[in-house]
């Protein structure tokens, strides 16, 4: 299977992310190579960025924080995230599906 930045796995959405921490604001920037670039304001310290990312994505996709699972890349800026049964899909992601 080709590595897409975003794809559906049944009812779940898999996102391959490139994280830019310490950004001026939280936003889904768009494609960055074969990943979706996400800017977040949190610094990459003590898991703060992951917690912030999880919270941000849960709001964007209208799911509980527990439905956002960082499957790969806990410690790096390249991550794979599974969003269980998203209720909303933001426009930049919708365009990739």
**CATH number, residue 70:** 3.30.1200.10
Residues pairing with 36 in the sheet = 17, 31
pLDDT digits (tens, 9 = 90+) for 54-86: 999 999 999 999 999 999 999 999 999 999 999
For residue 38, the model assigns a pLDDT of 97
The half-sphere exposure of 50 on its side-chain side, counting CA atoms within 13 A, is 18
Residue 56 lies in a domain: yes
Structural domain containing residue 72 = 16-87
Mean pLDDT rounded to a whole number for the chain? 95
Residue 1 lies in a domain: no
The Cα 91–Cα 6 span in angstroms is 12
Residue 57 lies in a domain: yes
For residue 3, the model assigns a pLDDT of 77
The tally of domains found in the chain comes to 1
Listed residue (58, 80, 59, 76) closest to 67, CA to CA: 58
- pLDDT at residue 1 tops 50: no
């Amino acid at each position: 299977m080709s590595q897409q930045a975003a794809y559906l796995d049944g009812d779940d959405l898999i996102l391959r992310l490139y994280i830019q921490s310490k950004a001026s604001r939280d936003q889904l920037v768009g494609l960055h190579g074969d990943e979706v670039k996400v800017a977040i304001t949190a610094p990459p310290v003590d898991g703060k960025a992951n917690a912030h990312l999880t919270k941000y994505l849960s709001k964007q996709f209208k799911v509980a924080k527990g439905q956002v699972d960082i499957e790969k890349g806990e410690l790096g800026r390249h991550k794979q995230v599974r969003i269980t049964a998203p209720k909303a899909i933001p426009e930049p992601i919708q365009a990739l599906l």
